[in-house]
Structure 1
Amino acid sequence: MKRILILCCLFFWASSLHAEVFCVDDAVDGPANAADCDADCGDGLQNCSLRDAIFAANGNGDGEIDGIIFNIPGPGPHTLFFASGLPTLNTPVHIDGYTQPGSSRNTLETGGNAVLMVELDGSTAGPSTNGVSLTPGSSGSTIEGLVIHGFTTTNVRLDADDTRFLGNFIGTDVQGELPGASLGLPDGIFIKGANNVIGGPKPGDRNVISGNAFVGIAVVGENAWGNIIQGNHIGADVTGTQNVGNGYVGISLLFGSHDNLIGGIEPGAGNVIAFNEGSGVSVSDLGGGNAVLGNSIFSNFENESFADLGLGIDLNGDGITPNDLGDLDEGPNRLQNFPELSEAFVLENGQVLFQVSLNSEPNQEYRLEFFANEACDASGYGEGKIFLGSIDFVNTDAGGSAAGAMSFATTLTAQGGFFLTATATSLDGGDTSEFSPCVQVLQAAEQCGNDADDDGDGSVDCSDPDCAPQPSCQEGQQPPGEGGDEPGSTEDCQSLPCPSPTVGPQWVNGGACSLGGGILGEENPSPAPWISFGIFLVAAGLLGVRALGRRLGV
């Protein structure tokens, strides 16, 4: 009964969606024979290999989308080895590895539980070979549910347009946990076409593109535009937390590729780009309009000796690009200036307050994104591991400047010690900057006597335990006294029931005097109040998200 249900489902998949369907039921490669392939997965002949199916689809050549499905007998996963490179696809086709019995798509928002049963291993295919390769004639294809690794030039090559590439493991083993076989210096995915979609915001669309010997995803040339890369793990394992880094850059946009989107503004659109042996994202040459939004980018090229060559986002591939007044310089992504952060505090309730400023082109609108990191990158800039949020329609004035204060509710520790970073993306052109310098987030302290809950613990002034008298604060002890050691004296360290910043220094953190409280025993001002960028904060809602979505075509 189970076999009948599988065959019925395969027949429905075939008949309802595709012009012609070819069922792969043989894992053994050999000379291509298109005549061996048809849609009958139940004929028991086991005579249609993947090579046969590609030849059959190419031979059909009617311009409609053909289907290639799988029903290889026996328990999986099934590893397909090849005597030479696979034929290049020159007609639209939907290759669906999830039709192989036992396969299932990922259903987890975080992590991954996909089960892939069809593995294409190119380690026996010889030199200068591609794995799955699509020409412009195959535009409109969909490739999903495959594990691909071991080819010597590139594991996937897309010269086609409008291709969807969903739920695959590229460069890893079938579990998505370790690097797969690798010969030469292959890219994971090499894109020269337009409007291709790699992944997506749905959990089942997520690709794992890790363990490749060279670049994870290369987007190359002036014809490579409008591509969308979303929801993937690039350099990380299937969980998104372990190192299976690509051998060079995570995502490289070069030779004029432009107007591509990495990540996005909807839930699930951000990629995890981590552990790569070069920058997380590199934009080179004169390509512009490449937006990098809402991603988790961390732990790329962790080499302190060459820290500025492994940035989270690198414009021009040459390390840190300093800001310039008015943002007049030209280059990839127009060398968009990054924001500057300062005065960052975290309250007891997890709220983070900080100051932000941007100098860029005058009278323009920008989207600013903010990130938290356990540690600052060795370069002092970035990266951006935890996406905190964003604000749209930041308007620069006639001098190119905007400044104000931000606040985000987080689940991060109220003890401080983590680091904030930010990026800027022009709403007019879609150009994203490199990451800003890091600023450390400090724990806010109650400023006794100002009638405000400065540290966010719900208690104000006298009622806050931070303002309680300290019995250990005695005259003549630290700092040196100006009289006797009599209890209750206020000449050196204030021990009145409710200290006030105007009375004298307060004994804090068991050993240091600071005026009016402070951070970790140091003198610090109170956290900055919320102020406005003009219409900066007003437009932070759905209006800004929709406007950016229209600009980026999503």
Structure 2
Amino acid sequence: MNSIGDAPDENLADGLCQTASGECTLRAAIQQANARAGVDDIWFNLSGPGPYTITIGSPLPAITEALNIDGRTQPGWVSAPIVELRGLPTSGNGLTLTAGGSSVRSLAINRFSSSGIAIGPGGGNIVEGNYIGIGTDGFTTAANGSGIRIDNSAGNQIGGTTPEARNVIGGNFGNGIRIWGAASVGNRVIGNYIGVAADGMTPRGNIDDGIDLMDSTNTEIGGTNPGEGNIIAYSTDIGVVLKPGGTTARIPGNAIFANNNSEIDLGNNGPTPNDGLLIPGTANQGIDTPVFTTVWLSGSNLTVSGYVGSAPGQTAFGGARVEIFLSQGVAGAPGEGQLLLGVATTAADGTFGATFSVSGVSAGNVISGTATGAYTSEFSLNALVTP
């Protein structure tokens, strides 16, 4: 496409992306892609110096055939978006992916009245390297109604493991990412900045939750491999919320902190006391949090021990991954996880113990942790670091 205009295609039957004035706009390109079978690509060749702003006056057509929209093809692209899709109050969603097998890469998508990107029912889409609710500078807030919405759609990937694949999702009026519906199975959210600017530090919180899950299952948020962890911070409500019911997700390897209410909330009901049980049909089966019985700092070595559950010896929590984080607040308060200090694994009876070499930790600090078996717990209560 070669125009920042918003005019429609003149003749859908001719196979040419061409408006009445002879230009190829994003709207016309989507219309032509929808008009023919098979996978299509939209590449950018906008003239003049960037960044480039395409103002969308009315809802763009839903993408009904597999389509790759690639902002990296714009001359002058280096590593971050230089093409902006800017909505108006009448613009609805920025992009709507219904067919599946599509991708959206390296665009800034902002000011849309509904979602920046809406996905479903078709699955297997990739969304990476975009600024959602943020301008092309990576810092300026330009809110959508919500960031990315997945409704009854499976196998989508939001983000990636390289800086160029990272989405920056912040400042939106609703959720950063919403994944709803029983058909939303096996979606992945990896390597994103949610609630911070492109520098990974400056607060750009979403007004609702960072990530909102309801009725979806086997969602992967973060991971244990390099680059898979997300930053999820500064939400006005909850960092990651799993609504009541059988919603399930694994949430390892992330930095989740400074969200206004809970960091991770299983059941959308605030911190849940440990009960020693895994209960099918509840959010993440209600997996219990770690309980720390020893937190001892000697020089640069931090020794921790404890158990997952309501008491030591509960085999339901054997083999769990326990992630230990430097937290904020006071001992006994619900914790958070800005800095990962180390990882332990529970024995068959649910107990754990480990020693890590750490920096930036002092006696009087507090730590917190999560447990991940089949699914991931809330954050534990803070435990005091003792000398």
TM range (shorter): over 0.9
Q: What pairs with 1:115-514 in structure 2 (closer than 5 Å)?
A: 116-123=81-88, 126=90, 129-135=92-98, 137=99, 139-159=100-120, 160-182=122-144, 186-192=145-151, 193-254=153-214, 256-301=215-260, 310-328=261-279, 331-348=282-299, 350-359=300-309, 362=315, 364-373=318-327, 375-376=328-329, 380-392=333-345, 394-397=346-349, 402-413=350-361, 415-426=362-373, 430-442=374-386, 444=387
Q: How far apart, CA to CA, are the structure 1 residues paired with 2:289 and 2:369? A: 7
Cα deviation, residue 346, structure 1: 2.1
Q: How far apart, CA to CA, are the structure 2 residues paired with 1:47 and 1:395? A: 65
Structure 1 range deviating more: 375-384 or 172-181: 375-384
1:50 aligned to 2:26? yes
Q: How far apart, CA to CA, are the structure 2 residues paired with 1:379 and 1:352? A: 19
Distance 1:39 1:418, change over 3 A: farther
In the alignment, is the contact (CA less than 8 A) between 1:25 and 1:46 conserved in 2?
Answer: no
Structure number with higher relative contact order (C-alpha < 8 Å, ≥ 6 residues apart): 2
In the alignment, is the contact (CA less than 8 A) between 1:225 and 1:257 conserved in 2?
Answer: yes
Q: How far apart, CA to CA, are the structure 2 residues paired with 1:336 and 1:356? A: 16
Distance 1:65 1:377, change over 3 A: farther
Q: Which amino acid aligns with 2:126?
A: R
In the alignment, is the contact (CA less than 8 A) between 1:171 and 1:212 conserved in 2?
Answer: yes
Partner SS, residue 70 of structure 1: coil
Cα deviations by residue, 1:231-285 (Å, 9 ceiling, x for unpaired) = 000011111111110011000111x101010000101110000011111100012
Q: How far apart, CA to CA, are the structure 1 residues paired with 2:297 and 2:331? A: 23
Distance 1:174 1:342, change over 3 A: same
In the alignment, is the contact (CA less than 8 A) between 2:332 and 2:382 conserved in 1?
Answer: no
Q: How far apart, CA to CA, are the structure 2 residues paired with 1:434 and 1:263? A: 15
Distance 1:85 1:325, change over 3 A: same
Cα deviation, residue 377, structure 1: 7.3
In the alignment, is the contact (CA less than 8 A) between 1:229 and 1:261 conserved in 2?
Answer: yes
Distance 1:202 1:39, change over 3 A: farther
Cα deviation, residue 389, structure 1: 2.8
Partner SS, residue 98 of structure 1: helix
Cα deviations by residue, 1:112-166 (Å, 9 ceiling, x for unpaired) = xx3x211001125x16x1110011x2x1111101000111111110102111111
Tell me the TM-score normalised to structure 1 length. Answer: 0.65
Cα deviation, residue 82, structure 1: 1.5
Distance 1:262 1:377, change over 3 A: farther
Distance 1:150 1:377, change over 3 A: farther
Q: Which amino acid aligns with 1:214?
A: G
Cα deviations by residue, 1:381-438 (Å, 9 ceiling, x for unpaired) = 111111223234x2443xxxx324221112224x333221111112xxx221100000
2:3 paired residue among 16, 26, 47: 26
Tell me the TM-score normalised to structure 2 length. Answer: 0.92
Q: Which amino acid aligns with 2:50?
A: G
Q: Higher strand proportion, which one?
A: 2
Partner SS, residue 130 of structure 1: coil
1:67 aligned to 2:22? no
Q: Which runs of 5+ in 1 are unaligned?
A: 1-23, 106-113, 302-309, 445-554
In the alignment, is the contact (CA less than 8 A) between 1:34 and 1:53 conserved in 2?
Answer: no
Distance 1:243 1:37, change over 3 A: farther
Q: How far apart, CA to CA, are the structure 2 residues paired with 1:178 and 1:122? A: 15
Pick the structure with greater CA Rg.
1
In the alignment, is the contact (CA less than 8 A) between 1:198 and 1:230 conserved in 2?
Answer: yes
Q: How far apart, CA to CA, are the structure 1 residues paired with 2:343 and 2:357? A: 12
Aligned to 2:73: 99
Structure 1 range deviating more: 339-348 or 321-330: 321-330
Q: Higher helix proportion, which one?
A: 1
Q: How far apart, CA to CA, are the structure 2 residues paired with 1:90 and 1:67? A: 13
Q: How far apart, CA to CA, are the structure 1 residues paired with 2:32 and 2:193? A: 33
Q: How far apart, CA to CA, are the structure 1 residues paired with 2:308 and 2:143? A: 46
Q: Which runs of 5+ in 2 are unaligned?
A: none
Q: Which amino acid aligns with 1:179?
A: T
Partner SS, residue 380 of structure 1: coil
Distance 1:245 1:34, change over 3 A: farther
Percent identity over the alignment is 34
CA RMSD of aligned residues (A): 2.1
Q: How far apart, CA to CA, are the structure 2 residues paired with 1:300 and 1:368? A: 21
Q: How far apart, CA to CA, are the structure 2 residues paired with 1:282 and 1:178? A: 26
Cα deviations by residue, 1:87-131 (Å, 9 ceiling, x for unpaired) = 1000001100011111122xxxxxxxx3x211001125x16x111
Q: Which amino acid aligns with 1:416?
A: A
Q: How far apart, CA to CA, are the structure 1 residues paired with 2:377 and 2:277? A: 14
In the alignment, is the contact (CA less than 8 A) between 2:290 and 2:308 conserved in 1?
Answer: yes
Q: Which amino acid aligns with 1:94?
A: N
Q: Which amino acid aligns with 1:145?
A: S
1:78 aligned to 2:78? no
Q: How far apart, CA to CA, are the structure 2 residues paired with 1:321 and 1:46? A: 61
Q: Which amino acid aligns with 2:360?
A: L
Distance 1:37 1:97, change over 3 A: farther
In the alignment, is the contact (CA less than 8 A) between 1:123 and 1:181 conserved in 2?
Answer: no
Cα deviations by residue, 1:177-231 (Å, 9 ceiling, x for unpaired) = 121154xxx2200012111011111222100011111000000010111001000
